[in-house]
Amino acid sequence: MKVSPLCLGAMMFGAWGNPDHDECVRIIDRALDAGINFIDTADVYGRGESEEIVGKALAGGKRDNVVLATKVHGTMGEDPNEFGNTRRWIIREVENSLRRLRTDWIDLYQIHRPEDDTDIDETLGALTDLVRAGKVRYVGSSTFPASQIVEAQWVAERRGRERFVCEQPPYSILVRGVEGDVLPTCRRHGMAVIPWSPLAGGWLSGRYRKDADLPDSHRAQRIPARYDMSLPANQRKLDAADGLAGLAEAAGMTLIEMALAFVLNHPAVTAPIIGPRTMEQLESQLPATEVTLATEVLDRIDELVPPGVNLNPADGGWQNPALQPEALRR
């Protein structure tokens, strides 16, 4: 499949961001008019609300020309089985996503997070059945560590399963941990890469400056570990964001353009996922596809945030269960 340089992320459409469905549809229409043909959502975003908005926007003949991606794994109800990467849940939840998206097929169906309780062969077996049934075209992973990306590739080959053709990792100037292993692993296995949060959850929007009042947001309330300014890791992010904003100004571009161009121009990256909440935010991000960063700008970025480093480990999107206290015998 051929996709546009930017992917439109739909996480902010609905209760998690913009509750005005009509405005969200207009944002999607504008993105399509601007040449974006790739939309990514997930069942868990607003407990299905985001998928419903995307389905409404693509009704009336627009669906056929859009590469549509969604994800499964997150908790969708009070029942303990309405969650995870098991065959039972995947087979059930894909039908719910198809209904909400108003479509007969999903172009890219992704496992939203790893799950130690479910063998990857069970997960890939269920996904393979969905591909053979015509309900899913391709399958992918999201926020998988490199070791589990490789394990999934080997299981697919040995067991004759559909393989993950795409990984969706967190990646931005402030969250560079995937540069060390995940991105090279994806290149070796011929996997597409569609990074989430290239603006680091708003930290690279230009609003986080040392001399300005810090913004509040729904995301800050949901995931305080990434925004609580009493944490030293977030103070490091503020220092870096302020320095990066000054660098962008000196280079004659906005911080948003520089941040997106940084991710866009990595040789392993296929299409960063932008997640606008408003039309203004979308318009500010579209010009990034025309930006190429000079070597001296990239060198200065490396000075502010070294390659392969997450300034705040909480921004990695997945906490390794092997490092939890119970796994360390404490």
Residue positions annotated with a catalytic role: 45
- H or E element in which residue 276 lies: none
Dig out the tokens for 237 from the structure. Answer: 């992010």
On whether the CB atoms of residues 138 and 167 are closer than 8 A, the answer is: no
Question: How buried is 56 (Cβ within 10 angstroms: 0-12 exposed, 13-18 middle, 19+ buried)?
Answer: middle
| Cβ atoms 231, 312 nearer than 8 A | yes
Distance of CA 156 to the CA centre of its chain: 23
CA distances from 201 to 1, 11, 73, 267 (A): 28, 11, 21, 23
CA 308 to chain centroid, in Å, comes to 18
Q: How many alpha carbons fall within 13 Å on the CB side of residue 134?
A: 2
Phi-psi region of 139 (alpha: psi -120 to 50; beta: other; left: phi over 0): beta
Nearest one of 253, 260, 297, 230 to 7, comparing CA atoms = 260
